[in-house]
Structure 1
Amino acid sequence: MKAYVSVLKLRLLNGMQYRAAALAGVATQFFWGFMYIMIFEAFYLNTIESPPIALKELIIYIWLQQAFLAFIALWFRDNELFDLITTGNIAYELCRPCGIYGFWYAKLLAQRLSSAFLRSFPILLVAFFLPQPYNMTLPPNVLTFVLFLTSLIFGLLLLVSISMFIYISVFVTMSPVGSLLLFGVIGEFFAGLIIPIPLMPSWLQNIAYLLPFRLTADFPFRVYSGHIHQNEAIAGIISQFGWLVILVLLGKFAFHKALQKVVVQGG
């Protein structure tokens, strides 16, 4: 466990050094945030009479998406790990006196945390001071905020466990781009990053609720806005924990099977 905590700290400190890249990302995310808000505002004003989610809740949803993009984007990757797999340098990782799954999990977790620390606070700070109706607002009460933080943390852990399957799949496909596209398109769609899940047709919502992706993004953001009530939020957090245990166990099993078939050339 000490090895995993140490690599988490080191990667977190290393990631915090890229401040210029983070500021560029903040500007980009403000652009996308305003664009999405204006699209949905026009959609609400001209189309929807009784929306399944209020426009204000949707605006909060979008700003949280932009602020915590590093927590929810499956395309967020570590090219160093891809290179280890595709070049055969995974042999060096096998020499480490610790489990590779946990070691990589800690690296990916630290990468996302460092990026979110640098980007989330400027975005949220500005979003709170924007004019109506484009501004962020506080959650309805303290308990809702606590449930949001809990669900956000579990959502991050769940997303990292899902992203581990991207790296595991590269052992088979040897194509990082293919694995990223497959997981990214499916995962982000059913996480509500393209179309918020309440705005999907009922049959698509049923599919989304069967998969774990929505628990990484859609669920915590709707908890914050109050669209998901407290009792439902507690049940959702329990579901997040259950999915986390299942995906980590499956990931470790799949990783073990993939390592058994690794071929390292050169002797």
Structure 2
Amino acid sequence: MSRAYLELAKKSFQNNLVYRAEYIAGVLNAIVMIFVNISIWRAIYEEEGALEGLQFKMMATYVVLSFLLQTLYVMDEYFIEVKVRSGLISSDLLKPISFRMFVFSNTLGTLVFRLLLQLSPALLLSIILFQMLPPFSVQMALYFAVSALLGFLVLYNLNFLVWISSFWFYWTFSLVTIKDAAVLIFSGALIPVWFMPEWLADFVQATPFASIYSTPIQIYLGMIPEDEIVTGMLRQLAWVLILGLAGIVLWHRASRKLSVQGG
């Protein structure tokens, strides 16, 4: 059965290969957004008179990592909604595979595509153009890679909860927009958590949002003491499990709702 899911992920990867123009546009968009945001932060630092070499390089590296991860974490927000509204969800449920794993396999194939064909060239260009700082050590790089994967899983499971709401809401655009705004604001994707008021930073740390971008980037920058890194990743894992369990419960309710309606 696991081979079937690998084939689904492979098919998703191949489907993404078809849209090569979108692939190139994705790389260029990431570079442009990084350049614009670094320019904004440079202007802020110069205005405040705090443009110090290492300090600004860390900020620039934070911006690069944030936008590269955002490029990597892009998912099809309306994959389930389209199937529900078109009625294709009924035939998908008849297949001898888990629909939840079908959705995850499709997302995983897109992730691998973006990792190999968008993130890699964008990262290389960022190193050349923006002189981003390297990780402090190979060990920190490995910690960052594991934390970034956990961040992806946190975001996926959070997204899945919103996607499943399409069984109750005809349109999920508003919910997706609200969720995206919350992720951008509270995850540290746009503004590092350490720039937030203390009360807001404490709130963010108590939510799954910090586990998406802030934790892996701070690990990369060496801003989390080494003896606290494992604790940070365990917190990420806990959110993966909590949100994943909530997704399973909500999916069972959604599938029962479909059965009751004759789907």
Scaled by the length of structure 2, the TM-score of the pair is: 0.90
Question: Are 2:90 and 1:95 aligned?
Answer: no
Cα distance in 1, alignment partners of residues 115 and 224 from structure 2:
24
**Would you say the 8 A contact 2:77–2:163 is kept in 1?**
no
Q: Per-residue deviation at 1:50? A: 10
Q: Which residue of 2 aligns with 1:238?
A: 234
Please state if 1:225 is matched with 2:227.
no
- Which consecutive aligned stretches of 4+ in structure 1 deviate over 3 angstroms post-superposition? 48-51, 70-73, 263-267
Q: Could you tell me which residue of structure 1 aligns to residue 48 of structure 2?
A: 47
Q: Which amino acid in the other structure matches residue 33 of structure 1?
A: I
Give the letter aligned to residue 43 of structure 1.
Answer: I
Q: For 1:228, what is the secondary structure of its paired residue?
A: coil
1:264 Cα deviation (Å)?
Answer: 9.0
Is 1:146 equivalent to 2:142 in the alignment? yes
Aligned twin of 1:84: 83
82-91 vs 137-146, greater mean Cα deviation:
82-91
1:166 to partner: Cα distance: 1.8
How far apart are 1:13 and its partner, in Å? 2.8
The TM-score normalised by the length of structure 1 is 0.89
Shift of 1:211: 0.9
Letter of the 2:66 partner, please give it. Answer: Q
Contact 2:80 2:166 in 1 (8 A): no
Q: How many residues align?
A: 261
**Which sections of structure 2, spanning at least 5 residues, go unmatched?**
none
3-state DSSP of counterpart to 1:137: coil
Q: What is the CA-CA distance between 1:20 and the residue it aligns to?
A: 1.9
2:132 paired with 1:136: yes
- Runs of 5+ unmatched residues, structure 1: none
Counterpart-to-counterpart distance in 1, 2:162 and 2:49 = 38
Any conservation in 1 of the 2:67–2:189 contact (CA below 8 Å)? no
Do 2:84 and 2:167's aligned partners in 1 also have CA atoms closer than 8 Å? yes
The aligned counterpart of 1:112 is: 111
- The equivalent position to 1:211 in structure 2, one of 184, 207, 210, is 207
In structure 2, the partner of 1:32 is 33
- Distance in 2 (alpha carbons) for counterparts of 1:259 and 1:91: 10
Post-superposition offset of 1:257: 0.5
Query: CA offset at residue 241 of structure 1?
Result: 1.2
- 2: CA distance between counterparts of 1:142 and 1:105? 30
Aligned mate of 1:190, from 183, 186, 189: 186
Q: Percent identity?
A: 26
Q: CA RMSD in A?
A: 2.3
Are the equivalent residues in 2 in contact too, given 1:208–1:214 (CA < 8 A)? yes
- Say if 1:183 and 1:158 are closer, same or farther in 2 by CA, change over 3 A: same
Deviation at 1:49, TM superposition (A): 5.1
Q: For residue 172 of structure 1, what is the amino acid of its counterpart?
A: W
